[in-house]
Amino acid sequence: MKKNQKLTIKEKLKLLVLNGQFTTYDLDGKISPIELSDGPNGIRKGLVEESEQVNIHCYPALSVLGNSWDREVIYNVGEAIASDCIDNNIDIILGPGINIKRTPVCGRNFEYFSEDAYLAGELASEYVSGCQNRGIGTCLKHFAANNREYDRLFRTSEVDLRTFREIYTKAFEMVIQKADPYSIMCSYNPVNGINASENEWLLRGILRRELQYEGVVFSDWGAVHNHALAVKASLDIRCPYSTNSELELKDGIKKGIINEVYIDESVNRILELSDKVEKARKKRSPLDDTDRYNIALRAAESGCVLLKNENGLLPIKAKKITVLGELSESPSYAGGGSAEVVIEKKRIKSLVQCIQEINPETEIYYEKLYSRENCTHRTAGVRVFNEPKGLSLAYDSELTILIVGDTFSEETESMDRTSIKLNAHLEKLICNVAQKTKKLVVVVEAGSAIDMTAWIDKVQAVVYTGFAGEAINEALANILTGKTNPSGRLSETFPRCLEDTPIGGKLENPYADRYKEGVFVGYRHYVTNNVPVLFPFGYGLSYSTFKYSNFNVKEIKKQEYCVSFDVENISNIDGAEVCQLYVDNIDMKVERPRRELRRFDKIYLKSGEKKKVSFHLDKDCFAYFNICYNTWHVDEGRYEIIVAKNVNTDIFMKKIYVKQF
C-alpha cells in the first residue's frame, strides 16, 4: 500500500479479521492479500485446490526434528517447506509450534520440538530462518501455555511467573531474538483465567513489552470470544472470518474499550506485514523438487533414535529376514489435525521395497499381520490376523523386524492421548513374537514418548522413528541396513509410566490446569527428584563409538566461560555425536532443577576423525527468572558444568565459581 494512502475506519476494521479461512483482506486492491496455510511439516492439503497443488511434500513432524538436534537439517527443512509454499502461492506457513511437552499425553506433542525450552528455541530459530530467508513468513504458535488438548478452549493454564518465563515463553523469546518471525499465533486456552486472545497481561505485557515482539499476532482459529477485548490486548488478526467481528468492534468503540489508537496500532502492524510479504515475493527462489525429497529423507534419518541394540544386532547382517506389520507398507508418517499432511500414496515406498533396493540379495518374508483400519483409540480397532504364516516365518528367519505405532487418529489435535502405552493388541503381539524369536527389532512410529515397559526387556533392538514424513521408510531402511548411522537423540524423556511424569496421569480440576510442578518439567523433574526413567532426555545410540578428551574450562570474563573438548570417532563407521552441556547451580538460593541444558552441538565425524568442540557460556547459562527483579538474574556461587552423552550420563564435570556483577 502506498504510504500516504488513507484507510477509512470501516476498512481498518475489516483488516482485523480474515477474509474467509486463510486469506487477509485486500480492501478492493488497496493492499495485497496474504495467503496462509498450515504447517508446519507440510502444506495442509485442502487449503490449495487439488488441481492446483504443486510439489506438496510431507516432512518429518517437529518432534522428529527435535530428536535430530541438528540445526542445519532443520534450517534445510525450513527452506524446503518455503519452496513448497512458493510453488503453491502461500505467503506464511502456520508454524512452527514451539509449545513445551509438559506431559506425554498431549495429543499435539508431535507438533512440538521438545520438553526443553532452550532446545526448542534453538531448533525453531533454524526452521524460521530457513523458511524466511527463502521469502516465506512463519507463524510461531501457540502463545502460550497450550500444553494439552483436553478442553483446550476453556481450561485455564494456571502458571506462576517464573515458570512461565523459564519454561513456557523462553523458546518464544529466543526465536523472536534470533530469527524475527513474521507472525505469532495466540493459543486457545485461557492463561491465568483470561483467554489468551484477550489477555492484555499476556500479549501486551509479556509478548510485546517483555519479549519485545513487534510483528503481527494472529488468533488461533476460533480463539477470539470478544474482538474488542482482543484488539485491546494487542491481538491483530482474528482468524478465521467471523460475522461477529464488526459488531463487537463497533460495540467496543462505543463502550470505550478500544479507540482508533488501538485499532491503528494493529492496522499499522498488518500493513507492515503486507509490505514485508510483497517485498519477499520478489526475491523468492524455490529449491528444486528432488532436493526437497532429499531434505525430507535426511531429516527423517537424523531424527530417528536407536533406543536399544543388544549385542550389535543392528545394522542388519542377516541374509534372510522377516518384516511384520501393516505400518511397514502404510506407515504413520504424520499426526492428525491441522498438521496432517495428506500426500499421494505413490510418494511412500514400503519398507520391504526400500530394504530390497539397498540389499537386493536379502531374502525378505513380509506379513501384514494386523490391520489398523478404523483404529481410533488405543483399546480397540487393531485386528490381528489369525493365520500363523507370518509368525512362523519370523521364527525361521535370522532377524525379525516388527513395525508398530500410533495412527494419526490416536495422536491428533483437539484430543489427548488416553495412554502412553501402545495399543494393547500391539503390545501383546510384540510379546508373542518375542517369545518365539531371539532376534527381534521393534520399530515404533509415534508422536511422543511411549511406555515400553511391558515388552522392552523381551526384544533385542528398538528403533523410534516418530512420525517421520514421506521418506520414513527409506530413512528406516537406511538405518536398519547401516547405510546411515543413527544419530537421533531424544528431545523428550521416555518415562517408565505415566504416573512417573511431572503431572502424573490425572486431569484434576477440569476447569483449571494448575502447573504445580513449576519449572520441574521433563528431565528437570526426573533428574531433580531422582525418578528413574526408561530413556533419559538426550539419549540415543549410534553404530559408532566416540571418545572424549582434553576437557578445558576457561574464564573469559565475569560470567563468561569457554568450554572445550575433543571428540573422536574411534569406530570404523562414519557417524554423528550430539555433544550436550548442562549446568547445575550448586549453591542455589532459589529452588532450581539439578541440571539444565545450556549448549549442544551435533558433529559429524568420519571413522577415525577427531574434532574440537567449543562452547561459549554466557550469563544466560547461569540465569533464572527472578520475579523480584522481574528479569533474568545470575546468583553468585558455585555452579557445575557437565558435558554429557545424555542428561543421565556424564563425561566431564567441573565446578566453577560465578561472581556477581
What character string, x for contact with ligand BGC (CB under 6 A) and - otherwise, covers 11-40?
A: ---------------------------x--
Q: What are the CA-CA distances from residue 369 to residues 32, 329, 433, 435, 453 (Å)?
A: 54, 11, 11, 16, 23
Residue ranges in 81-100 that form contacts with ligand BGC under rule CB under 6 A: 94
- Closest separation in Å from C-beta 627 to ligand BGC: 30
Query: Nearer Cβ to ligand BGC, position 38 or 79?
Result: 38
Unique residue bearing C-alpha cell 531402511: 477
Q: Which three cell numbers stand for residue 494?
A: 521416555
Q: Which 3-state string (H, E, C) describes 521-585?
A: CCHHHHHHCCCCEEECCCCCECCCCEEEEEEEEEEEECCEEEEEEEEEECCCCCEEEEEEEEEEE
Tell me if 141 contacts ligand BGC by CB under 6 A: yes
Residue 250 parent element (H or E) = helix 244-254
Residue ranges in 265-304 that form contacts with ligand BGC under rule CB under 6 A: none
Specify whether the CB–CB gap between 175 and 531 falls below 8 A.
Answer: no
E-assigned strand segments in 608-648? 610-617, 624-626, 631-633, 637-646
Query: Nearer Cβ to ligand BGC, position 184 or 441?
Result: 184
**Cα distance between residue 240 and residue 249, in whole Å:** 16
Residue ranges in 464-503 that form contacts with ligand BGC under rule CB under 6 A: none
Amino acid at 254: K
**Cα distance between residue 399 and residue 309, in whole Å:** 13
Q: Which three cell numbers stand for residue 175?
A: 526465536
Residue ranges in 533-592 that form contacts with ligand BGC under rule CB under 6 A: none
Q: Considering Cα of 244, then 247, then 253, then 254, what sign does the dihedral take?
A: negative
**Cα distance between residue 195 and residue 218, in whole Å:** 14
Residues in the chain: 661
Contacts of 175 (CB under 8 A, 6+ apart): 98, 121, 124, 125, 128, 140, 181
Q: What are the CA-CA distances from residue 82 to residues 71, 208, 481 (Å)?
A: 17, 27, 32
**Cα distance between residue 537 and residue 456, in whole Å:** 18
- Closest separation in Å from C-beta 661 to ligand BGC: 41
Burial of 388 per CB tally in 10 Å (0-12, 13-18, 19+): exposed
Query: Nearer Cβ to ligand BGC, position 101 or 598?
Result: 101
Amino acid at 215: G
Query: Nearer Cβ to ligand BGC, position 150 or 221?
Result: 221
Residue ranges in 400-429 that form contacts with ligand BGC under rule CB under 6 A: 413
Q: Which three cell numbers stand for residue 56?
A: 506438496
Query: Nearer Cβ to ligand BGC, position 38 or 326?
Result: 38
Query: Nearer Cβ to ligand BGC, position 408 or 526?
Result: 408
Query: Nearer Cβ to ligand BGC, position 310 or 413?
Result: 413
Q: Applying CB under 6 A, what is the total number of residues that bind ligand BGC? A: 7
Query: Nearer Cβ to ligand BGC, position 94 or 533?
Result: 94
Catalytic residue, from 84, 220, 406, 500: name it. 220
Residue ranges in 597-656 that form contacts with ligand BGC under rule CB under 6 A: none
Tell me if 220 contacts ligand BGC by CB under 6 A: yes
Cis peptide before 137 (omega within 30 of 0): no
Query: Nearer Cβ to ligand BGC, position 72 or 413?
Result: 413
Tell me if 221 contacts ligand BGC by CB under 6 A: yes
Q: Which three cell numbers stand for residue 450?
A: 511411549
Q: In what order do the strands lie in the sheet with 320-324?
A: 305-309, 461-464, 440-445, 399-405, 320-324, 363-367
Query: Is residue 416 annotated as part of the catalytic site, yes or no?
Result: no
Give the catalytic positions in this structure. 220
Return residues touching ligand BGC (CB under 6 A): 38, 94, 141, 220-221, 338, 413
